[in-house]
Chain A
Amino acid sequence: MLRVIVRRLLQLVVTLIALSALIFIWLRNLPGGPVEALLGERATPERRALLTKALGYDQPILVQYGKFMQRVVTGDFGNSIRTGDPVTEVISRAFPATIELALAAMIIAVGLGVPLGYLAARWRGRSLDNLTIAGTLLGISIPIFFLGYLLKDVFTQNIHWFPPSGRLTTGLDNTNVTGFFVLDGLLTREFDASADALWHLILPAITLATIPLAVIVRITRASVLDVLNEDYVRTAEAKGLRHRTIRGRHILRNALLPVVTTIGLQTGALLSGAVLTEKVYNWGGIGTLITDSISGGRDYPVLQAIILLAALIFVVVNLLVDLSYAFIDPRVRVR
């Protein structure tokens, strides 16, 4: 087990280094790079040359990359071109917001998706099954930013159930501990802040959960259907085991493996979706940061760090998922 972990970690490092080199070289070779973005198109060549030199962009690309990696190892990703703040600070400010949103969405997707998929499989061909399948197809075909606007319109304009945007009601003074507002409220016993944050969280989380939910329902359904036809399920029934035992031990546990893999793979969809969802609800997380970093002149240091971070999250989550097999599936543990 340990050897597997070490090998996977090494692979992870190699992937990230390759990715960082690719992105670094890519971004530096763009026409209209950061210098243009900072000075505008009408800057004099002298000023341009000066800034190019100040930013170190006049050196050979390999030297630049070497210096970049040197600083990255010490946790320094440079400064944002747009605001001048250190990139690590900019990102860590926005990071908890996105994680909070993504976690909430995942809880909705898994909590709703697995039972729904299971029920759809058990009642295959019945109306619940057909309805579920139709729903999942619609879920993957709808542009989620449009769904976001639709939900926002219905639930904040027509019926005022939820606040339209942001993470907290303005003027509400909460103590910032972790940056996860719902958690912060609980930790500092400011339960009103916690409730308010949760209230703001619901609509964006539902929007973001759409695609993962649809995918998880489908995979769960397909996987349960596969298992239902297995001989050992029939045997268990023939033995006269209680239905609850068969369901829990024989069907769900065996059907869960592909579902867990899917949950890992959906991290990517969550990060993609977060960019769109955050823009709709003005959420102020990593997604907003990406949009701002592109539209307000290309802020390469920030973009570069976010891309690496996104890849890191994706790879780490999938590593954790693989490791979790050992707990779900005893056959993996033996190997």
Chain B
Amino acid sequence: MATTACFIIVSRNDIPIYEAEVGSTVKREDAAHLHQFILHAAQDIVQDLAWTTSAMFLKAIDRFNDLVVKLFLNLVSIHTRLMLLHDSRNDDGIKSFFQEVHELYIKTLLNPLYLPGSRITSSHFDTKVRALARKYL
């Protein structure tokens, strides 16, 4: 089944520090834009939600058409959020995906050469995230 998914990590200041289209559908440019637009718009809701919940994993915080935004809040720095936009229903898989990516992100943070809040440009990270996406989503 072709799935659409867009994964994004948003730092504090609402700046995306990592973006990846991890869906299996054929990529269309305007669709990719739309995904980012949806995720960007979801920031408003995330911003309010983040302060009202203690859960790390939030299901379906926002949706547009069939696309659902899920959120994983980072405990290390509360303002960093892992967000996934997808059209699948596999909640468990998404949760595992978030957990694994979170671990990866923590590892990146531990890199002394990585300036927190700047873009994650590591290709290793990218490869890993895509592999995880294939595994879980």
Partners in one complex: no
